[in-house]
Amino acid sequence: MADQPLADTIVLFGGTGDLAQKMLFPSLFFLDADGFLADGFRIIATARAELEADAFVAQVKEAVGARAGSSGLDAKVWDRFAKRLSYVGADATTPDGAKELRAAIGEGRTPIYYLALSPSIYGRVCKALAAADMAGPNTRIVLEKPIGRDLESSKLTNAEVAEVFPEESIFRIDHYLGKETVQNLLALRFANTLFEPLWNNLTIDHVQITVAETEGVGDRWPYYDEYGALRDMVQNHMLQLLCLVAMEPPADMEPDSVRNEKVKVLRSLRPVTRADVQTVSVRGQYTAGVAGGQSAAGYESERGQASDTETFVALRVDIDNWRWAGVPFFLRTGKRLPERRTQIAIQFKPVPHSIFDGAAKADMVANRLVIDLQPDEDIELLLMNKAPGLAQRGMRLQSLPLSLSLAKAYSGPNARRRIAYERLILDVIQNNSTLFVRRDEVERAWEWIDGVADAWRESGMAPKPYAAGSWGPAGAFALIERSDRAWYD
């Protein structure tokens, strides 16, 4: 890592697309504003369309301006940033297109190739880059998810890319790993002595991971209908969160130290089989309803025809290892849920024996650690506390949060909520792949997900309807209540 030069050029394939406009250009701009881009750093966007240089720069300015919002664009920073930009209209799947890019990059550079493209053409782009002799020892390639739709297709894509780039040059993005609070999970677990001794099945009762979105699928259905919530969210973001909660302490923050531990968790996930799929999983699909105070269409009417794609998944996941035996992880994610919330809740066990009796005994609530990732970044530890005042006899107890609100704790430049991609792009520039997903990790995750998808198919489990604006089908409540627990809504 340290002996690799910093990248000095980033080539954004799919440079006119949604991801580039909404996330990548704004992230690069903010990195520049904060002094993280070296003087000669260049940004080359490429797509098939022919685009005049001025029109391209105007497009980027609009995208960055939209993201900067009311704070606006600092004119000096924008001028510096605009000088870094250039655009090449080319078909990057052909050797001729790649050669045009090569000419635009010039000699002696250390480029990053960022593929914000349909994964189905990753292989062809890599071949074209190889044919144009553009895959040198210091070049890095960034791949967006989804890498494959199942284990087989993921292996194929990974193998095609591996023919051209060695694993240490491949950066597979999961943008959740760039989120501040996701990294904070590492700090919370491994920079405090407090939690680690308790972080196991002796003290923890269960874990809940919720990624709830209010948005529907809308015009993304051509992609979404082929993937569904299981492949779009669980295979990557949710399993990554689960891994960070469940992994053993890595020796250090080196890429392979962290990723080895995550892979061990993925290998310990209990496979879902046809025999238990109905008890450990729920599929749902939203129908018309009211979401965010407005009436919302159902998924099938957005899609324009019947579909058996799920827009909601709930799962009970068991990790078969010493630390987690008997501690279920409940996962749920869905579109058109009542609120946007990404949250990890660690539910501790009740005290082994209560010294309190009467009303105080009934007041007792087991401790819970709640990590909110979105929309707010907060950490709360729910602790039992004596309620102030006098009681006729004994005392009353109350559960109160010890809160760490990141918004309140930090002010100044570091308080700005960063786009997850800022951290990740900076890491690629510096050649640090700790927050990127290794090939075996992606493949192990697919292997487990394939088990769920196969069990659904074999048992004919169609998605159950739920009204837009509700917390998913009734089965999602039954799934967790079956073990005498409940979702924290």
Binding site for ligand BG6 (CB under 6 A): 213, 232, 342, 374
Least Å distance between CB 414 and ligand BG6? 20
H/E stretch holding 379: strand 378-386
* Token output for 284: 């749902």
For residue 417, give Cα distances in angstroms to 67, 192, 195, 377. 12, 24, 26, 10
Rounded to 5, what percent of the chain is helix, strand, coil?
Answer: 40, 20, 35
Q: Name the active-site residue from 175, 206, 237, 353.
A: 237
Least Å distance between CB 47 and ligand BG6? 20
Nearer to ligand BG6, 127 or 423 (CB): 423
Q: How far apart are CA 209 and CA 195, in angstroms?
A: 18
Q: Identify each DSSP E strand in 41-138 by its residue range.
A: 42-47, 85-89, 111-115
Nearer to ligand BG6, 374 or 399 (CB): 374
Nearer to ligand BG6, 373 or 397 (CB): 373
Q: Are 251 and 261 within 8 A, CB to CB?
A: no
Least Å distance between CB 102 and ligand BG6? 31
Measured in residues, the chain has a length of 489
Least Å distance between CB 421 and ligand BG6? 10
Nearer to ligand BG6, 7 or 437 (CB): 437
Asked if the peptide bond before residue 250 counts as cis, ω within 30 degrees of 0, the response is no
Pick the closest to residue 230 from 155, 281, 169, 303 (CA basis): 281
Backbone angles phi and psi of 139, in degrees to 5:
-75, 150
Exposure of 177 in the CB half-sphere (CA atoms within 13 A): 25
Amino acid identity, residue 433?
A: S
Nearer to ligand BG6, 118 or 483 (CB): 118
- To the query of whether residue 237 is one of the catalytic residues in this protein, the response is yes
Nearer to ligand BG6, 93 or 235 (CB): 235
Least Å distance between CB 24 and ligand BG6? 14
Least Å distance between CB 15 and ligand BG6? 19
Nearer to ligand BG6, 210 or 342 (CB): 342
Nearer to ligand BG6, 376 or 481 (CB): 376
* Token output for 373: 């990732």
Q: How far apart are CA 73 and CA 62, in angstroms?
A: 10
- Nearest residue by C-beta to ligand BG6? 232
CA 52 to the chain's CA centroid: 35
Q: Report the b/e string of 168-188 with b at 16+ CB within 10 A.
A: ebbbbbbbbbbbebbbbbbeb
Least Å distance between CB 264 and ligand BG6? 24
Instruction: Show the DSSP H helices in 220-341 as ranges.
Output: 221-229, 239-246, 255-268, 277-280, 299-303
Which positions are catalytic?
Answer: 237
